[in-house]
Amino acid sequence: MTESKKFSIKKTSKELLGRWFHLMTLGRALDEKAPNYLKQAIGWSYHAPYAGHDGIQLAVGQVFDRKTDHLFPYYRDMLTSISAGLTAEEIIFNGISKDTDVAGGGRHMSNHFAKPEWNVHNVSSCTGNHTLHAVGLGRAVKKYKHKGVVISSQGESSVSEGYVYEAINGATNEQLPVVFVFQDNGYGISVPKKDQTANRKVADNFRGMKYLKIIHCNGKDVFDSMNAMTEAKQIALETSTPVIVQANCVRMGSHSNSDKHELYRDNAELNYVTEYDPLAKYRRLLVRYKRFTEEELLAIEAEVKLEVKKAHKAGLSAPDPDPASIHDFVIPEPYVSEKYPEGLHNFTGNNKKLIEGLNETLKAEFRLNPDTFLWGQDIANKDKGGIFNVSKGMQQEFGKDRVFNAPIAEDYIMGTANGMSRFNDKIRIVVEGAEFADYFWPAMEQFVETTHEYWRTKGQYSPNITVRLASGGYIGGGLYHSQNIEGALATFPGVRIVYPSYADDAAGLLRTSIRSKGMTVFMEPKALYNDPKASAAVPEDFEVPFGKARVRREGADLTIVTYGNTTHMCVEVADKLAEDTGKQIEVIDLRSLVPLDTETILKSVAKTNKVMVVHEDKVFSGFGAEISATITEQAFNQLDAPVKRVGSEFTPVGFNRILEKAVLPNNDKIYAAAKELIDF
């Protein structure tokens, strides 16, 4: 008998058989009780019954070791979570969204079980997206030579998602100890498996991938599932390669409490799935093989009833989340600069280009913290460091373990950053999220996911990630090379967004971003990488706090609020208007969009009483609309004229430089708008 076949009704100890029966009975009791909470308007608004998945879910939880392993359960994994160690009380706290919910204090959808302190990770409702997180964590497990595996569980239909393919492809390419469990019940809500995949077994879609082992098992059978999961974990541990466990299950109930499976399943099928009830089968085996008597099993069932009754009582008396806490844990407190509290300096050394400021700061932070990593597309090929050479020399100095290329799969870049960051709190990750900011759109699913991790877990997990994006136009790049996306990204709470205009601010903001907990999007105006206008003296330890704007030019007749490429244009226009009209214009370089330095803006408005917002992005729904609204709401009585905005036309950026010039703001457009406002 091989190690992988060590479990059977005859060979397994009575103690273990009894423990499994207790867990399975407890899980089923809670699974059947969950809908009653909704009927009584107590909670559990979403419940996905697991009955029919009992064997594989018991096995996943049993092979999981919370001291060494990491587990990503999906929304149907109630028994998996119980088998991994969650109590009946913890299951109910989650189901009825209590403040005592260990997954996140009632901040997540019910039936999404987790316990981050035990490495049972809080997983989103987006089916299968946690496979990318599992791969990222597997990367950390391998790089830190940690003796453990990562287990990712999901239904077979979620494997149709593109990011699942990215995850499994990446895990095989990087040879990572990740076990992917596919719980195949034949349906994606009401969509039958035949409409999801060409292969009858979805795991077979991945045959041919190097280093990947595929194991099939009967997910309804406890012993077959235990043997399969034990073998899978052993392979992943010993070979550091991924494994897929395809578990054949049945779904005894509807997809969820909002689904009526009678509308698409006939009576024959419904009778079939009831007949193959895994719990009933396991109970019959225990009696048939005389491992337990009927009386012993009845005693365990009675014990479970009392356990559920006690947990129910605790759940009803547990506190609800405090509505006043909604703004807690949106984003962690950032790194605080003691030497440069305002992000200003008087250093007078040699000027450096913006690209030099970024490159030197990256290297300095990598030297400071050995748990800092960088990956992205095209960033580590011999002497080349990205499409713009910002990371030039990084791999040579810090090695392939810390600086490496990622596949051309932006979701994979973001998702594995989220996962790897979970391994320990010291890790800081810098990703070049896309070669151009415009190409970041495929990563938006994982970007959105990462923005609410800290809030959703009630501060138990913070994705400590800096996302570098080469942004903006003025290079004749055209579509997908000249777009500005900061306005769209700024609508998501849980992320900081910075956009420097000069080399010193680029260095200082990058240092603060890397050292801070939480996620920061670092927008780099690529047209300024080597532009002398953006050069500045850069103190080697410079730090710029978030939410601190910089007054680039003082004045009393008009305030211009700007950032990025247009900062230099606004300073030039202000100088020209002073020369032409004698009017003095104050130019505020925001540097940080989220958080926004509203105080500096309003202070300037109170002095000048006229405001113009200038940025490269489109005027319609651009970030300037938020600035304008803020000024109008908070300083309306101080305005002598409406807030004016200058930006790109509401049209795609043209490839031809003549078209680009017509779309983007320039000195002439800014000058004309400012002159009109001064004369208002």
Indicate whether 596 belongs to any domain: yes
* Rounded Cα distance, 80 and 57, in Å: 4
What is the average per-residue pLDDT within 434-448?
Answer: 93
Whether residue 556 sits in one domain with residue 502: no
CATH number at residue 245: 3.40.50.970
Residue 9's Cα: distance from chain center in Å? 42
pLDDT band at 181 (very low <50, low <70, confident <90, very high): very high
611 with 465, same domain?
Answer: no
Q: Both tokens of residue 655?
A: 């490839």
pLDDT band, very low/low/confident/very high, at 673 (cuts 50, 70, 90)? very high
**pLDDT given for residue 481 in this prediction:** 87
Confidence at residue 303, expressed as pLDDT on a 0 to 100 scale = 98
Q: Quick one: 31 and 78 in the same domain?
A: yes
The answer, yes or no, to whether residue 3 has pLDDT greater than 60, is no
Please tell me the total count of domains within the chain: 3
Res. 253: pLDDT tops 90: yes
Residue 357 and residue 295 share a domain:
no
> For the segment 115-131, what is each residue's pLDDT rounded down to a tens digit?
999 999 999 999 999 99
Domain identity same for 195 and 112: yes
Burial of 168 per CB tally in 10 Å (0-12, 13-18, 19+): buried
- Where is 247: in which H helix or E strand? strand 243-248
Residue 474 lies in a domain: yes
Single out the residue in 537, 561, 588 at which a domain terminates.
Answer: 537
State which residues form the domain around 382: 351-537
Whether 339 is covered by a domain: the verdict is no
**pLDDT band per the 50, 70, 90 thresholds, residue 652:** confident
Predicted pLDDT at 397: 95
Residue 648 lies in a domain: yes
Task: List, for residues 67-76, the tens digit of each pLDDT value.
Answer: 999 999 999 9
Count CB neighbours of 194 within 10 A.
9
Confidence at residue 383, expressed as pLDDT on a 0 to 100 scale: 78
CATH of the domain at 604: 3.40.50.920
Q: Which long-range contacts (CB under 8 A, 24 or more apart) does 161-164 make?
A: 161/127, 161/128, 161/129, 162/411, 163/128, 163/129, 163/131, 163/132, 163/411, 163/412, 163/415, 163/445, 163/446, 164/128, 164/131
User: Contact, 508 vs 540, CB < 8 A?
Assistant: no
Which tokens go with 438?
């415009």
Predicted local confidence at residue 395, as pLDDT: 94
Which tokens sit at 182? 């596919």
Residue 8 lies in a domain: no
Residue 459: inside a domain: yes
Indicate if 22 and 52 belong to the same structural domain. yes
Q: What is the pLDDT at residue 258?
A: 92
Residue 598 lies in a domain: yes
Q: Is the pLDDT of residue 4 over 60?
A: no
124 alpha-carbon distance from chain centroid = 9
Q: Does residue 206 have a pLDDT over 50?
A: yes
Positive or negative torsion for Cα 214, 218, 249, 85: negative
Q: Are residues 302 and 376 in the same domain?
A: no
Average pLDDT over residues 194-207: 93
Alpha-helical runs (H) found in 318-384: 354-368
| C-alpha span between 49 and 76 (Å, rounded) | 6
- For the stretch 293-303, pLDDT in tens is 999 999 999 99
Active site residue 53: no
- Residue 235 binned pLDDT confidence (cut-offs 50, 70, 90): very high
Kindly state whether residues 85 and 176 are assigned to the same domain: yes
Name the domain boundary from 537, 558, 578.
537
Residue 1 has pLDDT above 70, yes or no: no
Can you give the C-alpha Rg of the chain in angstroms? 29
pLDDT-derived band at 480, boundaries 50, 70, 90:
confident
What mean pLDDT do residues 557-581 have?
A: 98
CA–CA distance, 22 with 304 (Å, rounded to integer): 7
Question: Would residue 176 count as lying in a domain?
Answer: yes
Bridge partners, 523 (sequence order) = 469
Mean pLDDT of 228-241: 97
CA–CA distance, 497 with 64 (Å, rounded to integer): 38
Say yes or no: 562 and 472 in one domain.
Answer: no
User: What H or E segment, with its residue span, contains residue 576?
Assistant: helix 565-581
Are residue 453 and residue 599 in the same domain, yes or no? no
- Contact at 8 Å (CB) between 377 and 432? yes
Same domain, 466 and 562: no
How do 403-405 and 558-562 pair as beta strands? unpaired
pLDDT value of position 478:
79
| pLDDT value of position 547 | 98
pTM exceeds 0.85 for this model: yes
Confidence tier at 386 by pLDDT (50, 70, 90): confident
Average pLDDT for 138-150: 97
Say yes or no to pLDDT of 218 above 70: yes
**What's the whole-number mean pLDDT along residues 658-680?**
94
pLDDT at 268 over 80: yes
Indicate which residue of 261, 481, 568, 615 is catalytic. 481
State the chain's mean pLDDT as an integer.
96
Does 2 have pLDDT greater than 60? no
Find the DSSP H helices in 343-452.
Answer: 354-368, 394-398, 410-421, 444-451
Each residue's pLDDT tens digit, 52-111: 999 999 999 999 999 999 999 999 999 999 999 999 999 999 999 999 999 999 999 999
Stretch (H or E) spanning 432: strand 428-434
Residues 63 and 192 in one domain: yes
Spell out the residues 6+ positions from residue 566 whose beta carbon is closer than 8 angstroms to its own. Answer: 614, 615, 616, 646, 665, 670
pLDDT tens-digit series, residues 414-439 = 999 999 999 999 999 999 998 889 99
pLDDT bin (cut points 50, 70, 90) of residue 336 is very high
Does the structure show a pLDDT above 50 at 538?
A: yes
At 465 the three-state DSSP class reads strand
pLDDT of residue 479: 83
Averaged pLDDT, 666-671: 96
